[in-house]
Amino acid sequence: MSCRVSVLRTLTVFFALSGIAAGQSLIEAGFGIRGGLLANKSFQANRLCVDAGCVFGSRSFTADKLNGTVGPAVNLLLNDRVDVRFEAVHRRFGYQVRSDLVVPGVVDQHSVETTQGYLWEYPLLATYHFSSGPVRPFAGGGLSLAITGTGVTETRFTSTISSSGVTTTGMDRRSGPVTNGAPYYLVAGIDGRISHVSIRPEFRYSHFFVDQSTNAEVILKPNQFEFLVGVSVQFHLKKLETHR
């Protein structure tokens, strides 16, 4: 419910700023692309040790490093100061869970779970430019209107029964959606202008609402950091004369 309220508030701000545009002397619209690099891994181990595995076995977790993000972006700049931006951000992820269970005289079992997938985030951001001119620092924040994605997990295992000496090997493959609460963001960076081209290097903090009490082995990290660069082409939409 709180996430829905946040989305409604953000949409209210977006439409309010759009309405203010009619009274501004200068309005710009832009479209482009943004790409980033995550400073930390997207996923973390949650509950690797369960029941007998805590006593007789061990489990380890590794995640892919330096996953990137990419996606289109559109923005509306009001009076050269307030920027409202919407993005569609695609990120890939991958991780692996290794399990070893050894009960002397009973069973010797080993498995490797490899998961690959992707996420889509839809950030709606509002930032404020603190100066005019070709180089303008900005800061702001926002939230994602939704988060969607899917993952595919492939499990390979080997199990040997000590009493019979019989060894079984196999592979299981399953897929499903990735579900999680939509994150909110804090951003800060610099907007550099060359004619109608905007280049925006920025730092972004993302906070994901993660239920860490879940029984899942692996979950999204609540706090994530990203360095990204956005490039867009800006157009003047309207220039109104001031009536005295």
Asked if 225 and 205 count as a contact pair (C-beta separation under 8 A), the reply is: yes
Paired residues of 229 in beta bridges: 35, 201
Beta-carbon contacts of residue 238 (< 8 Å; ≥ 6 apart): 21, 24, 26, 27
Instruction: Name beta bridge partners: 168.
Output: 159
Looking at residue 124, its pLDDT comes to 97
**SS3 at position 239:** coil
Ranges assigned E (strand) in the chain: 27-38, 43-45, 57-63, 68-78, 82-87, 89-103, 107-129, 135-161, 167-177, 184-194, 197-207, 218-220, 223-238
The share of the chain scoring above pLDDT 70, in percent, equals 84
User: Could you give the domains of the chain?
Assistant: 2-238 (2.40.160.20)
Q: What is the C-alpha to C-alpha distance for residues 225 and 229, in angstroms, rounded to an integer?
A: 14
Is-contact 111 98, C-beta < 8 A?
A: yes
Share of the chain above pLDDT 90, in %: 47
Give the closest residue to 113 by CA, choosing from 45, 35, 168, 20. 45
Higher pLDDT, 119 or 49: 119
- pLDDT tens track for 148-175: 999 999 998 888 887 777 778 888 888 8
Range 109-127 average pLDDT:
93
CB 99 within 8 Å of CB 111: yes
Cα(106)–Cα(112) distance, rounded to whole angstroms?
21
**Residues 123-152: pLDDT tens digits?**
999 999 998 889 999 999 999 999 999 999
The residue with tokens 């070893």 is: 100
Pick from 129, 123, 127, 140: nearest CA to 86: 123
The single-letter code of the amino acid at 132 is: S
Flag the least confident range among 20-24, 55-59, 74-78: 20-24
Cα–Cα distance measured from residue 134 to residue 93, given in angstroms and rounded to the nearest whole number: 36
Out of 45-49, 100-104, 122-126, give the one with best mean pLDDT: 122-126
- Measured CA to CA, the distance from residue 230 to residue 72 in angstroms comes to 9
